[in-house]
Amino acid sequence: MEQCCRSPWETYIPPFRMAPGVYYVSGNNWVACYLIDTGDGLVLIDTAMHETAYLLIECVRNLGYEITDIKKILLTHAHIDHIGAARTLKELTGAKIYLGERDMLFLTERRDLIGGDGQYTCGMFEPDEFYADDKLITQGNIAIRTIASPGHTPGCTSMFFDVKDKDGKVLRCGIHGGIGLNTISKQYFEKTGLPMSLRDEYIDGLKKLAKLHVDITLPSHTNQVGILMHVDKITDDYNPFIDPSIWQELMQERLERALELIEKEKKEEQV
Ligand SMILES: [Zn+2]
């Protein structure tokens, strides 16, 4: 059969454990989705694309869960690679969907900003709740703290929660809701009409989040911290993802790249 079109997610990735009770389940090697076993139902962070929903479902079932065990779906931001399968999964599971309120703009009058370039589709869905940073999202034995992290999108939201290893040691997991620099360029703001102040919010957010302690960084895209390189090192007694320096380095790296971008644009304006 003729080779089909190439896509960023052409490799199937079976589910693997990132932290106790926390699994990588997107089924693809591009965008990450995390399943949290709370002891009383599952929480899913992000859904990946509508077109890869079947892989996510397969991953959940391969771990021994039923898709209907998913009680809450937390979306980091309203781009196609994170919310594409939200409608499908909401309809299949009946789970409650959470989103940053400022991203409602994308779901309503500016659906062009969801992205996808005609390659991916995003069904219509309505979030059940908006994040409130002063209110933990709890399910079973997990309490998730959210922090609004505007910039990559206006409603971009980061999440933090604690899990315990088998010796009872607490490990903090953290996911930055969206650190892609593609949406903070001057060119992007000019094209979309979104305010350039989002860039300042992006930078302020990184500075704030860099101060947090995170034992296990859950990247929203695998290549941000190269998690796939370490999958075969995971054993019952060893978790290669425990490393608090990863979070600090990631925040720092993005901050430097954002500042470089601004500097470069300033120079170009002067020419
Ligand atoms: Zn994005």
> Domain boundaries in the chain?
16-270
Sheet strands (E) in the chain: 16-19, 22-24, 34-37, 42-45, 70-74, 96-99, 129-130, 137-139, 142-148, 157-164, 170-175, 216-217
Bridge partners, 45 (sequence order): 34, 74
Give distance in angstroms: CA of 223 to centre of ligand 1: 14
Give distance in angstroms: CA of 181 to centre of ligand 1: 9
Q: Regarding beta strands 142-148 and 70-74, do their DSSP bridges make them parallel or antiparallel, or are they unpaired?
A: unpaired
How does pLDDT run along the chain (271 residues), one tens digit per residue?
344 445 556 688 999 999 999 999 999 999 999 999 999 999 999 999 999 999 999 999 999 999 999 999 999 999 999 999 999 999 999 999 999 999 999 999 999 999 987 788 888 999 999 999 999 999 999 999 999 999 999 999 999 999 999 999 999 999 999 999 999 999 999 999 999 999 999 999 999 999 999 999 999 999 899 899 999 999 999 999 999 999 999 999 999 999 999 999 999 888 7
Give distance in angstroms: CA of 158 to centre of ligand 1: 13
Q: Which two tokens stand for residue 79?
A: 């781009």
User: Of 105, 121, 116, 261, which Cα lies nearest the Cα of 194?
Assistant: 105
Q: Tell me if the domain spanning 16-270 has CATH number 3.40.50.1370.
A: no
Q: Which two tokens stand for residue 133?
A: 């940073």
Only one residue has tokens 């309203």, namely 78
